[in-house]
């Protein structure tokens, strides 16, 4: 059987990727790194194999890569945990940050939506499980949700934010801005319910 062609989705990005084996940053500036598991795959076809890979923002300090904060309270990444790269994972490539990318990274765990009140309080024993459920729920919506439903994943991210920072309020987008079609559907359903209630009276 012929060996499958290994295809990296990350390296398809239009960046000036540099192989870490050939060159490393000569200072501690923040750069983008590509993490890749040595053996694990994220998927495959009859002809191609897709390695398990990810992108992080990091610095090269004292001969090792350090992933920059903010870090989630519970990090379920299969390739890294908080600031550390996991066993059997390599930072194979790196590239310079693009305009605005560092700001995007440092604010990636910020609250997205705008709520009069949003709280999530979980006992310590169950908190990791709730956080993981929110993580997978958001991933499922992003992958399989219809266009009007996909923006609702951001609400799950905001619930994660409650655990990450124990912060119940912060500025952000409204539901109409996050998921305009879904908001319209809710408004229409509410109007229909009002009409039905009036007719019954």
Mean pLDDT of 18-36: 96
End-of-domain residue from the set 77, 108, 139: 108
For 201, the 3-state DSSP assignment is coil
| 7 and 93 housed in the same domain | yes
| 123 and 195 housed in the same domain | yes
Question: 182 to each of 37, 126, 174, how far by Cα in Å?
Answer: 38, 31, 12
| 77 and 141 housed in the same domain | no
| 143 and 191 housed in the same domain | yes
Query: Is the model's pLDDT at 20 over the cut of 90?
Result: yes
Query: Is the model's pLDDT at 14 over the cut of 60?
Result: yes
Count of the separate structural domains present in the chain = 2
Domain with 199, as residue range(s), is 110-201
Place of tokens 């109007």: 191
Place of tokens 């390739």: 79
Q: What angle do CA 163, 167, 172 make, to 5 degrees?
A: 110
| 66 and 157 housed in the same domain | no
| 70 and 145 housed in the same domain | no
Q: What is the pLDDT of residue 88?
A: 97
Residues 17 and 11 sit within 8 Å (Cβ to Cβ): yes
- Helix 127-144, helix 153-165: angle, nearest 10: 160
| 81 and 176 housed in the same domain | no
Residue bearing the bigger pLDDT, 196 or 162: 162
| 23 and 49 housed in the same domain | yes
| 31 and 100 housed in the same domain | yes
Place of tokens 């983008």: 32
End-of-domain residue from the set 87, 108, 129: 108
| 196 and 99 housed in the same domain | no
Q: Among candidates 39, 49, 47, which has minimal Cα distance to 8?
A: 49
Q: What is the pLDDT of residue 117?
A: 87
Structure confidence at residue 165 as a pLDDT band (50, 70, 90): confident
| 126 and 188 housed in the same domain | yes
Beta bridge partners of 31: 58, 96
End-of-domain residue from the set 82, 108, 134: 108
| 103 and 118 housed in the same domain | no
Residue bearing the bigger pLDDT, 8 or 186: 8
């Amino acid at each position: 059987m012929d060996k499958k062609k290994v295809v990296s989705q990350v390296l398809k990005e239009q960046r000036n990727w540099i192989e870490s084996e050939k060159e490393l940053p000569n200072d501690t500036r923040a750069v983008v790194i590509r993490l890749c598991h040595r053996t694990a795959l994220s998927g495959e076809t009859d002809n191609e194999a897709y390695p398990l890979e990810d992108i992080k923002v990091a610095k090269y300090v004292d001969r090792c890569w350090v992933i920059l904060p903010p870090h989630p309270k519970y990090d379920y990444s299969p390739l890294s945990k908080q600031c550390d790269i996991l066993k059997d994972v390599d930072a194979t490539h790196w590239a310079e940050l693009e305009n605005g990318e560092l700001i995007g990274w440092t604010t990636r765990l910020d609250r997205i939506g705008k709520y009069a009140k949003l709280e999530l309080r979980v006992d310590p024993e169950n908190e990791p499980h709730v956080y993981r459920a929110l993580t997978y729920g958001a991933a499922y919506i992003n992958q399989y949700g219809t266009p009007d439903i996909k923006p609702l994943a951001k609400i799950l991210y905001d619930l994660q934010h409650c655990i990450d920072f124990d912060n119940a309020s912060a500025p952000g987008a409204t539901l109409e801005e996050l998921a305009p079609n879904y908001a319209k559907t809710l408004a229409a359903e509410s109007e229909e319910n009002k009409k039905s209630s009036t007719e019954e009276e």
